Structure 1
């Protein structure tokens, strides 16, 4: 078997907080939403470039507190874009990891983590200021 695409499902609890975090702050867009009928939980797809996530209010679809690890490019620039928005609930630090990546983690309002990573390149990333826990 060869996978064509992998789409993680994250548990959410509040539609408005979901929109504030994923759409307004992270810059995803809603591809589609589904409700079985009026006043039932939402199941939705959001995307940002080629990152696709499914977000579900249905309790059996996923466990809160999940983590997603994403490799990509432009991580430092995306980090700056998010910091510049001054979102009051999340100000992630940029770090150089032990696995030689430029990385930052965001925590959604429902306990899920998204970890954005880019392979460290000395020439490209030499002037970055990293968060340090020393």
Structure 2
């Protein structure tokens, strides 16, 4: 039987001002891939990526709500935290071990979108 696999997921992140959003996402290592804007009076739609993870940033009101929450897996959350601090990024929650098996931290972008970065904890044997 032939099957189709889902290969990845690219979330839309609603932003009010691309001019303010780009510096934040750049400060956490995302690079601009491409942008679309029909005319200077229209909202901007932008693709950014880091390490193969892509986000669509959009000023379009129909592309989501401000204040959404994303969960991103990273290879080393403590290293990522140090990177953010060295880049002057304000950290909402420093890395901490969670009961559900990850070590996580969180950031908030200029539009109140929360980005949670996590690394799985080693499995405990009881």
Regarding TM over 0.5, the answer is: yes
Residue 46 of structure 2 aligns to a residue in which SS? strand
* Other structure's SS at 1:27 match: coil
Relative to the length of structure 1, the TM-score reads 0.82
Which of 60, 63, 76 is the matching residue for 2:62? 60
Query: Distance in 1 between the 2:115 and 2:83 partners?
Result: 16
Residue 10 of structure 2: aligned partner: 7
The TM-score, its normalising length taken from structure 2, stands at 0.87
Structure 1 unaligned spans of 5+: 123-134
Higher strand proportion (structure 1 or 2): 2
- 1:62 and 1:48 mapped to 2: Cα distance? 22
Displacement of 1:99 in angstroms is: 1.1
Shift of 1:39: 2.5
SS for the counterpart of 1:60 is: helix
* Alpha-carbon shift at residue 27 of structure 1 (Å): 1.2
Partner of 1:91: 91
Per the alignment, in what secondary structure is the counterpart of residue 82 of structure 1? helix
Gapped regions of structure 2 (runs ≥ 5)? none
Number of equivalenced pairs: 119
Alpha carbons 2:77, 2:119 under 8 Å: kept? yes
Cα RMSD (Å)? 1.5
In 1: Cα distance, 2:88 partner to 2:8 partner: 33
Partner of 1:69: 71
